[in-house]
Structure 1
Amino acid sequence: MRTLGVEEEMLLVDARTGRPLPAAEQVLRHAADRAQAAATDGAVTGPPMIPGVCAHGAVEGEFRQQQIETHTAPAAELDDLRSELWRWRGEAVAAARECGVGVAALATSPLPVEPAVSRSPRYLWLEDRYRLTAREHLVGGCHVHVSVASDEEGVGVLDRIRVWLPTILALSANSPFWQGQDTGHASYRAQVLTRLPSWGPNDRFGSAAAYHRLVRELVRSTVILDEGMAYFDARLARRYPTVEVRAADVCATVEDSVVVAALCRALVETAAQEWAEGREAPDVSTRLLRCATWQAGREGLGGQLLDWRTGLPEPCWSVLETLLDHVGPALEAAGDLATVHDGLVRVREEGNGATRQRALLAHTGQLADVVTDSVRTTAAPCPGRRT
């Protein structure tokens, strides 16, 4: 079974006022101290190490001082992935709490913020090169890594999953507010990312050589610094033998993240089988996929999505059911079908992150309450685990 892991980019906030805080350096120091103490005590636990893949989870820095990133160890079973997500959200929350800071799994800040760049040469280069675009940039994604056997298989996967990634975005949408305003989008993060020159869907590559040639050309252009700034909505990971699906907003809850990750793994497995059988990748224009991504970010689960097969708008849940039919055999083979089915039923009843944020604002009238609720949800203990 293909292993999978998840990276989550989350906000650091004043839990009382909801304002983002530039506290990443302090939080990371506390996280490192906690990790060292756990290693010394022999308390490091988790799924077994898998050679060639990130062997353990972590709390790490990101582009902005107002955010941190967690990543899980690779897992083959969804129960293990769920435990890893709870564990590393918990580690981030505990380290932040020691600094008097809250952690919020929100893909944009509902309240006004002046983002502060993290002090690394790479991030300083990005801010100098992209100027206002970089200075205003503060978004959080959920990046799902799924193992592949080779770059050739990985590119075969990328060519075949590209048509489904707008649907993943719509499901995960968790960023309706920006700088104190309702944007009218379910995922305004997706809109912000379009300002980056390398973001979004690509044409079909056809081969690993073509993929790597494009990345080299982008680096040589000096528009991006290195291959890590090829911010495609799905790409070959730099450090791990994985496809990295980057389309999703950071999810409001662990259970939402698990559903998104399971669907991504099923998409990768289905696409890999099609590639191995020599089946042609869907011939859909990148321009249409950009429109589909815009529509998914605009509507989320509250309206219509573009059906890539026809290019026409369809009810969002009809498109999601089409996705579920497409990956159903892979979900069943992995033992994930029931989890995904139940998760989608729950999301249909309760809404995704964007729906919940707007509902809470309608109830209280205060954007600070949206952040406070996210801090509480993000810090919730794993069910069945003693706190």
Structure 2
Amino acid sequence: MADTSGLRPSVPLMGVEEEYFLFDPRTREVVPYGDEVAAKAAEELGDLVSRELGRYQVETKTPPCGTFGELHGELRRLRTVVAAAAESLGARAAAVGTVPFGAPVPMPVTDDPRCAKQLRDYRGLVDEHVICAAHVHVAVPDRDHAVLVSNHLRPWLPHLIALSANSPFFCGRDTGYASWRHTMWQRWPVSGPPPYFSSYDAYEQLLTALTDSGTLPDRRTLFWDIRPSSRYPTVEVRAADVPVTAEESALLALLVRALTVTALRAVERGDPGPELSAELLRAACWRAARDGLRAERMDPRTGRLSAADGLVPSLLRHIGPALEETGDRETVVALLRRLAACGTGADRQRAVHARRGSLLDVVDALVTCSPAVGLRRPGARRNGTGPARPARGDR
């Protein structure tokens, strides 16, 4: 159970699920060691680590956390244990949305009845499902609130996609996209931005029809970028590539929590959320996945374009009161400023590649950065008041 001492009563808990690829340190291609790495890491992490659909990957999940420091620490711990487990088996773990180098298709599927059913149902989509994401959970009062909160979060999906973009390369080529993972994911049924729902009953009716028709193998396999969690009392936001560092994942969670708090306040006022054009919203998400932070952004409400440097200010204007409420404003502002200056994971991958034209260098850089502390917490002194120093093996 998370330590909520000192946490304001109105601040909801949050958690993050992350997926990581496993690489051969010699060839820099992905290796199907997911079963073995998950089992090894579980000796220390228990059910906080698990296998994924593909055997190239493992997944971790944090406990519910109340603060940036607590969540950042948990993410670092999980990444460090997974990295050590991978190394003990002759592999390396890295946080990246797609496989930069090699030929990973068809993807070997984990030996599990649920995974086997997905392979039967989705066929070639599973073969090419070589992607890693980050999912953020934020506690909400109930599923009725979760559905209405989703309505309010939909316009902000392009912002989250742009800020977290970390998959420009796939199978040895530059795709021209900042988040190729997000683009690949759109081929699946019931993927991308969720519909607008007037109520939880409307959500249930559609979900029942999708499940009964065989479009979804079960209620847990819902692919929208936002959904009420099937297992937890949370709203789950699934639009992001897995970020390069634990700190960026913690920042992503703070942003999603602030958006959720803002949405909850609107729902309490009786506002069910804006009914956006599905076509404009999908186009805005596509544009964010293509361009990341470095090009004009599209407003999903109007379709109009505006300068890229307005993305962060517009987000901060919207969530500013919520950040004050959660006590996260200083941390978020400073980390967003640093992210805007150094670029997303996609920008940094391309910068590494530009030095020598080597995708092997890109994989090496990702392996080095993924378990690392990353940026120092804004305002933290070096005398131990900020996040702990890297443990031995935390690279």
Pick the TM interval, shorter chain. over 0.9
Shift of 1:202: 2.3
In structure 1, what is the equivalent of residue 71 of structure 2?
81
1:217 equivalenced with 2:209 (yes/no): yes
Q: Distance in 2 between matches of 1:85 and 1:380?
A: 10
Partner residue in 1 for 2:18 = 8
**Which of 126, 129, 135 matches 1:134?**
126
**1:29 equivalent in alignment to 2:19:** no
Distance 2:121 2:391 in 1: 47
Preserved contact between residue 15 and residue 371 of structure 1 (Cα < 8 Å) = no
Report the AA paired with residue 367 of structure 2: V
C-alpha deviation, 1:17, in angstroms: 2.3
Is 2:170 aligned against 1:160? no
**Structure 1 pair 176–75 and aligned structure 2 pair: CA distance change class (3 A):** same
Q: How does 1:135-150 map to 2 (within 5 A)?
A: 135-150=127-142
**Alpha-carbon distance in 2 for matches of 1:34, 1:177:** 33
* Preserved CA contact (<8 Å) 1:16 1:372: no
Structure 1 residue ranges without an equivalent (≥5): 37-56
Q: Deviations over 1:84-121 (max 9, x none)?
A: 11011111111111101100100000012132111111
Report the secondary structure of 2:101's partner residue: coil
1:107 partner letter: G
Residue 187 of structure 1 corresponds to which residue in structure 2? 179
1:189-208 Cα shifts (integer Å, max 9, x gaps): 01100110111112210111
Matches within 5 A, 1:338-377: 338-377=330-369
Q: Counterpart of 1:7 in 2: which secondary structure?
A: strand
Structure 1 contact 34–95 (Cα < 8 Å) conserved: no
Between the aligned partners of 1:73 and 1:79, the Cα distance in structure 2 is 13
The equivalent residue for 1:106 is: 96
Taking only the aligned residue pairs, the percentage that are identical comes to: 40
Q: Which amino acid aligns with 1:273?
A: R
Aligned to 1:41: none
User: Structure 1 residue 301: deviation in Å?
Assistant: 0.8
Q: Deviations over 1:225-269 (max 9, x none)?
A: 011111110000011000000011100111211111101000101
- Three-state SS of the structure 1 residue aligned to 2:152 is helix
Which of 307, 317, 320 is the aligned partner of 2:312? 320
Contact 2:198 2:272 in 1 (8 A): no
Structure 1: which amino acid aligns with 2:110? S
**How far apart are 1:224 and its partner, in Å?**
1.3
Q: Which moved more, 1:59-68 or 1:309-318?
A: 309-318
| Displacement after TM superposition at 1:379 (Å) | 3.0
Q: How does 1:224-263 map to 2 (within 5 A)?
A: 224-263=216-255
Hey, what's the Cα distance between the residues in 2 that align with 1:108 and 1:228? Answer: 23
For each residue in 1:256-307, what CA deviation from the matched residue of structure 2 results, as whole angstroms up to 9, or x when unmatched? 1111110100010100110110124112111111101100100001111211
SS in 1 for 2:224: coil
Shift of 1:69: 0.6
Which secondary structure does the structure 2 equivalent of 1:246 belong to? strand
**How far is the alpha carbon of 1:320 from its aligned partner?**
2.5
- Secondary structure of the residue that 1:227 maps to in structure 2? coil
Aligned-residue offset at 1:385: 4.3
The answer for the alignment partner of 1:279 in structure 2 is 271
Cα offset, 1:29, TM superposition:
1.9
Q: Work out whether residues 245 and 371 of structure 2, in 8 Å CA contact, stay in contact via their aligned partners in 1.
A: no
- Residues 35 and 354 of structure 1: CA distance in aligned 2, closer, same or farther (over 3 Å): closer
Q: 2:59 aligns with which of 69, 82, 87?
A: 69
Partner of 2:380: none
TM-score, length of structure 1 as denominator length: 0.92
Over the aligned positions, Cα root-mean-square deviation in angstroms equals 1.3
Partner Cα separation in structure 1 for residue 309 and residue 56 of structure 2: 34
Q: Cα distance 1:35–1:82, how it changes in 2: closer, same or farther (>3 A)? A: closer
Per the normalisation by structure 2, the TM-score is: 0.90
Alpha-carbon distance between aligned partners in 2 of 1:90 and 1:27, rounded to the nearest angstrom: 12
Cα shift at 1:35 = 4.0
Distance 1:32 1:278 in 2: 44
- Write the distance in 1 (CA, Å) between the matches of 2:303 and 2:30: 39
Matches of 2:312 and 2:304, distance apart in 1: 14
Question: Which stretches of structure 1, 4 residues or more, deviate above 2 A after TM superposition?
Answer: 32-36, 379-383
